[in-house]
Every structure is written in structure tokens, then in C-alpha cells.
Structure 1
Amino acid sequence: MTHRFLKLTAPLALASIGALAFSHRLFNYAFKRVDYVPETSADKQKYADQYYAYVKWYNQIPSETWYLHEMDSSNRMVATYIPAAKKSLKTVIISHGYKGNRETMANFAKMYYDMGFNVLLPDDRAHGDSAGKYISFGWLDRLDYINWINSVIKRDGESAKVLLFGVSMGGATMEMLSGENLPKQVKAIIADCGYSSIEEELVYLLKEQFHLPKYPFEPLVSTINRTRLGYYLGDVSSKEQLEKNKLPILFIHGAQDIYVPVEMAYENYEATKAPKQLWIVKGASHAESFWKSPERYQHRVTEFLKTYLR
């Protein structure tokens, strides 16, 4: 009887061990820090010359380096601050995408600079020059952005006007930040192609990229995340934070996005009770809306800000 039981259970045990081992690999692949920016997707290679022109501008424009927890190397956060060409009380805080850094937002930095904004570009946890072993996909980063907001207010005073902007993971970061008790100086949010929740995004990518089911892999990865970063993936959600949001928000999303599916934009929009606008960009893939037409993108942002950031 014991021998038969062992014969039946051994394959299940081996399968469980295999699933756990693969989940650890999956967690490290998705969440562990990398100190380089991966090559962009093939559909955006055609914008390379334009992108590097923005990077050249970014590296030449006068700027300052800001820090959070500067003397604590294990917790130090780093940002670039670009003052407006003419003194301004308007500041945009820009959140970059997954495995990117502040330099990868150079195109948006120039757009807002040309619109008369001061620009603050942080490196998120486990990205660029900031500390951190693991990527938190916006959830822990939202707490850092509260500190960055307070740094702007400290610089510009009570009359400061702050715009929050992010793309991809950065868009979700700002959506997650929206549910917090933010200072009155924060006036509006623009979120470009942010996901509806970390869990939903992981499950979607498990299916699309790895052809794997949600179970048992998502619960295992979520449990690993709980031990490393302190929360289960299902405990945090852009949608739940947006339900608490009181700030006007513009959602932007590419209609052809297959990395963060466009359905998530509709979910986030529906969850929001505050003043809201939704712009679905025809023919745009993930994070491509700006590159399709920088002029049209700036015009759409400007029209939104005419209403909500006078």
C-alpha cells in the first residue's frame, strides 16, 4: 500500500518542485534588478534616430541631481531636475517604464520643458542609479513619489503646481499613487498605457509570452513577492487606487497594445470617479502613442491641461 502511494504521489511532488523552481526563475526574470536598459521592441526601432536626438538634448540641458535618503546607500533614490527656461511654478514629475530609467523619458522631458514646465525625472527602485534589489511595479515606488512631490513643494513653495505623468509601469505607478492623500499642489495626472493591476498584467503575460496558466504560477510568484517585497500581488491594484482618486486624469493607450492590453485602459477609466478623459490612439502599439505623432500627442496633453492646470 505504501509503495503504491509513493508511486502515485512522487510525480505530483516532482511537478510541485518543478513549478516552484520555475516560479523562482520567473520571479527573478520579472522582478530582479537589471543594470541595463533592454533593447526596445522591433516595432519601435524605426524611431531610434528621433529617440537619440532627445537623449542628446537631455544630456546637454542644464540640470540638477536630486536625492532621497542620500546618505543611505541601500535606500538612496536619484532624480534629474531640469528647471524651466523661464521661472515657473509648474512642475511635471515623470515616471519611467519597466526596466527603463530617467534618461529613457527624454522625449517627454523635452515636450514638457517646451511647454514651460520644470521637469523632475526619478529613477525608480531597482532602476538606473537608484537603490533596490527588486522591481516593485509601482506599488512601493508610489511612496517615493510622495517624497518627490514634497521635494518640489519645498523648492517652489505653497504656490507650486504639480502634474504627475507616467508611461507603462510609470503610468500604473501614477495610477497607484492617485489613491493616496496627496498635497493640494498636485493638480492632475496623465497615465499612458498603465496596467490595471500587477496580478492581471502578470497573468496576461504568462499566457501571451510563456503560454502558461495562472495556476500554480501566479500564486507561487505572488508568495515569493510577499517574502521579498512585503505584499501579495493580488493585494494591490491600479483600479482600487483610482476608485479613491479625486484628481482629474487623462488616460492614453495605444489601440494595438499587446503588452498592456487596451482593455486595461477601459477598466482603469471605468474605475475612476474623478474628472477623466480617455484617448485611445489608433494604430499605436505599447508606449508608441507619442512616437506616432509627437505634435498630436503634445496637442492632446495641452488641451487637457488647459482645463485642469491653468
Structure 2
Amino acid sequence: MKKRIAWIMSSLLLLLMVGLIVAGNYFYDVAINRSNEAIELYGGTEEAVEAVSALEEEQKRLEELRNWTRKRNFESVEVETEDGLTLRAQYLENESPNGKVVILAHGYKGNSEQMPEITRFYYEEGYNILKPDARGHGKSEGDYIGYGWDDRLDYKEWINLLINEKDEKSIFLHGFSMGAATVLMTSGEDLPEEVKGIIADSGYTSLKEELTHQLNYLYRLPAFPIMEITSVVTKVRAGYTFSEASALDQVKKNKLPLFIIHGDQDELVPTEMANRLYEASNSMKELWIVPGAGHTEGFTVEEEEYKKRVKGFIEKVMNS
């Protein structure tokens, strides 16, 4: 009888382990693997997008942005990563340069074709602009998404390209969502003196905390033990764990001026993460919680104030 019970328990345990491994690989394929379609990790439905796009004013605004973008002479540039990937970006040289350049970091499952509003803003202010496709995105190589962790080392390559090939002397990093986490994680690295400051819009504290939040938000599931299993799968398949991919830990090492922007209505990357990131930094820092803004909506909700604060931050950095 005891042997039978032991056999049953062993079988159930084995089935549980197999089930967890299957679940871990499933969530890896959904959230980390490049080959899958984007899930609604940052919310929104097709119906909502269509409803917004149907508005005449919105259509006019988008067409203006498309026309402006088409008239710009973007140059294709690329770098090789330490692990042998070719990453690609668009570089826009300003016709009336102010001596500064900004690297714009896109979000999850995004690409360098996005962020037209902030691109135009920086261009009109005289900046040269670099817009990379993150590894696993757009025209860049890579089979998995790094969520900012491996990307922090990739951004050191982009920074070197700007210094060595474009002779840039004053570099700013400005990221949105996953791109914000990318520039925050980059901030903790040993960066050349040409990098002057970091702007992070709607960034998360760590990949583990963000995916834990999303697991509950999207699937209404508890984090344990799925998150731990998926992290192990990610270590095997992509080379990093959820725990080590921490913007919070990197910010603690940051010495550069830091401007954190976050909407007070952000349900997808909780606003409290912005407060914790701000508190963790020991450098010159600013925090703006945008009233009425959801995820990465600060520029849309408060465009003129957004521009004013970004310009003020950069001016303060350059004069310090």
C-alpha cells in the first residue's frame, strides 16, 4: 500500500513538474521569444485604436507626422554586439544642429519607426537623433527580447558609434516603457563622459516585478511558481534571469542626471515604480508624475509641459 501511495505521489509530482516546465516555456514564447506575435502587454484593443484613428483630428495629426517623417533624410547605421548580433538604427542629422544628440529607445515589440512626435520635437530643437531597433525587434537581429538587460550593453555600442563615427560630444538617452528600462539599466554602466543625462518615461523597476504585475493584470494568475520557472527557462534559452534584469539596482549605481516621467493613471507599469526609481538614485534627479496620463501618455496629455520640462532638464544638465 505504501509503495502504491509513493508511486502515485511521485507520478503526480512528475506531472506537476512537466506542467510547470510546459507553462514556463509557454510564457517564454509569449513574452520573451521574438517569433511570437505581441500580446497586449501594454494594453489597448483594436476596436479602441480604430475608434481613435477614426477621429478626423487624429487622422490629420498622424498624416502630418507621416509627411514630416517622409521629408527627413534618415541614415541607416549598424553595430555588432558582443554576442555577434547585427543591430540596426536610423540616424537623423539635423540641418541646424545644436551640438547635442539624443538616443530614443522604443518600447516592447516596437521599432525605430515609432515615436514620431518626440522625434519631431527633438529635431525642431536642433538635436541629431539616433533611433535603434532593440535586439529582437524591427530590423535588428536577435531571437529574444532583452527587456533592457542585454540592451544596456548594446547601448554602449550605440554610444561608441555616436562618439567615434559621428563625433558627438553631448549625448542624452530618452526611453519609453521597455525603452525607459533600457536607458535606466544603461545608466548603471561605466559610460563615457560624452553621455550627459537620462530621461526615462514609464519605466519599470525590474523585469521580475513588471512581469509579476502583468501576469496578474493579464491572466489573473499568481506569480509563484510560474514566474520562477519561466525565469529558469529564460536563463537557459536567453542567458539571463528576471531577477538580474533590474533597473532599480542599476539606478543605484548611476552618477548621471536623471529625469523620471510617469503617468499617475498608469495601470500597466504601476506609478509607484517611478517613485522607487527616483528614491534609489543618488545623482542629480527630477521626477514628474503626469496628472491624468496612462502608460507613456505624458507627451500626449501634457505636450507643452512635457516639452518645457525636458528642455529645462537638459538646460540644467548642460549648465551644471
TM-score with structure 2 setting the length: 0.90
Q: SS in structure 2 opposite 1:201?
A: helix
- Asked whether 1:237 is paired with 2:243, we answer no
The CA deviation at 1:14 is 1.9
| Residue equivalent to 2:44 | 41
Q: Which moved more, 1:50-59 or 1:189-198?
A: 50-59
Instruction: Please say if residues 198 and 236 of structure 1, whose CA atoms lie closer than 8 Å, have aligned partners that are also in contact.
Output: yes
Instruction: Please say if residues 102 and 130 of structure 2, whose CA atoms lie closer than 8 Å, have aligned partners that are also in contact.
Output: yes
- Asked whether 1:68 is paired with 2:71, we answer no
Query: 1:246-285 maps to which residues of 2 (within 5 A)?
Result: 246-285=255-294
Paired positions, count: 308
The CA deviation at 1:35 is 7.9
Q: SS in structure 2 opposite 1:147?
A: helix
Are residues 51 and 201 of structure 1, via their aligned partners in 2, closer, same or farther at CA, if it must alter by over 3 Å? farther
| Residue equivalent to 1:164 | 173
Are residues 233 and 19 of structure 1, via their aligned partners in 2, closer, same or farther at CA, if it must alter by over 3 Å? same
Q: Distance in 2 between matches of 1:173 and 1:52?
A: 30
Q: Percent identity?
A: 37
Q: Distance in 2 between matches of 1:12 and 1:161?
A: 57
The CA deviation at 1:249 is 0.7
Instruction: Please say if residues 255 and 262 of structure 1, whose CA atoms lie closer than 8 Å, have aligned partners that are also in contact.
Output: yes
Query: 1:74-153 maps to which residues of 2 (within 5 A)?
Result: 75-153=85-163
Instruction: Please say if residues 30 and 39 of structure 2, whose CA atoms lie closer than 8 Å, have aligned partners that are also in contact.
Output: no
Q: SS in structure 2 opposite 1:149?
A: helix
Q: SS in structure 2 opposite 1:233?
A: coil
Q: Which amino acid aligns with 2:170?
A: K
Q: Distance in 1 between matches of 2:38 and 2:112?
A: 11
Instruction: Please say if residues 29 and 36 of structure 2, whose CA atoms lie closer than 8 Å, have aligned partners that are also in contact.
Output: no
The CA deviation at 1:38 is 7.1
Are residues 238 and 305 of structure 1, via their aligned partners in 2, closer, same or farther at CA, if it must alter by over 3 Å? same
| Residue equivalent to 2:189 | 180
TM-score with structure 1 setting the length: 0.93
- Asked whether 1:306 is paired with 2:312, we answer no
Q: SS in structure 1 opposite 2:135?
A: coil
| Residue equivalent to 1:222 | 231
Q: Which moved more, 1:33-42 or 1:84-93?
A: 33-42
Are residues 250 and 51 of structure 1, via their aligned partners in 2, closer, same or farther at CA, if it must alter by over 3 Å? farther
| Residue equivalent to 1:31 | 32
Q: SS in structure 1 opposite 2:243?
A: helix
Q: Distance in 2 between matches of 1:180 and 1:195?
A: 18
Q: Distance in 2 between matches of 1:176 and 1:87?
A: 28
RMSD, aligned α-carbons: 2.2
* Unmatched 5+ stretches in structure 2: none
The CA deviation at 1:8 is 3.1
